[in-house]
Amino acid sequence: MSPPTAIQAKVLEDLDKRMYSAAGKDDDEAERIAKILIAKDDLPLFARCRALCILGVSKSPGYLEWAEEAVRTARKAITDPDTEEKEAQLMLASCETILHWALQDHSKDLERQWRAKKTEVSAAASCSATKTCSEGQRSVKKRRIKSGARDDVPDLLPAAPVMERTEEGTKIVELREMPSEEGNKTQVVGDSNAESPPSYSEGKGKARLVDVVLSRLDASFGGLSIDGQAAREDVLTFVFEEQ
pLDDT digits (tens, 9 = 90+) for 10-37: 777 788 788 878 887 888 888 888 898 8
Same domain, 179 and 93: no
Residue 132: predicted pLDDT: 58
Highest mean pLDDT among 105-109, 179-183, 212-216: 105-109
Domain stops at, among 110, 130, 149: 110
> Is the pLDDT at 190 greater than 60, yes or no?
no
* Domain hosting residue 16, numbered range: 6-110
| Pair 17, 104 in one domain | yes
**pLDDT tens, 132-163?**
555 655 555 555 545 554 555 444 444 455 55
Assess whether 99 and 12 both reside in one domain: yes
95, 166: one domain: no
Residue 52 has pLDDT above 70, yes or no: yes
* Whole-number pLDDT of residue 224: 46
What pLDDT is attached to residue 243?
43
Do residues 103 and 28 share a domain? Answer: yes
Q: Name the helix (H) or strand (E) containing 214.
A: helix 204-220
How far apart CA 200 and CA 189 sit, in angstroms, is 11
SS3 for 171?
strand
Assess if residue 151 is contained within a domain.
no
Strand order in the sheet with 169-178: 162-166, 169-178, 185-187
How much is the pLDDT for 223?
47
Q: Do 94 and 16 share a structural domain?
A: yes
Helix (H, G, I), strand (E, B) or coil at 25: coil
Check whether residue 10 and residue 106 sit in a common domain. Answer: yes
Does residue 149 sit within a domain? Answer: no
pLDDT value, residue 27 = 84
Of the residues 48, 77, 110, which one is the last residue of a structural domain? 110
Q: How many percent of the chain have pLDDT more than 70?
A: 49
Which residue, of 50, 81, 110, is where some domain finishes? 110
Q: Are 189 and 95 in a shared domain?
A: no
**pLDDT above 90 (res 71):** yes
Q: Are both 94 and 175 inside the same structural domain? A: no
Looking at the structure of the chain, the number of domains it has is 2
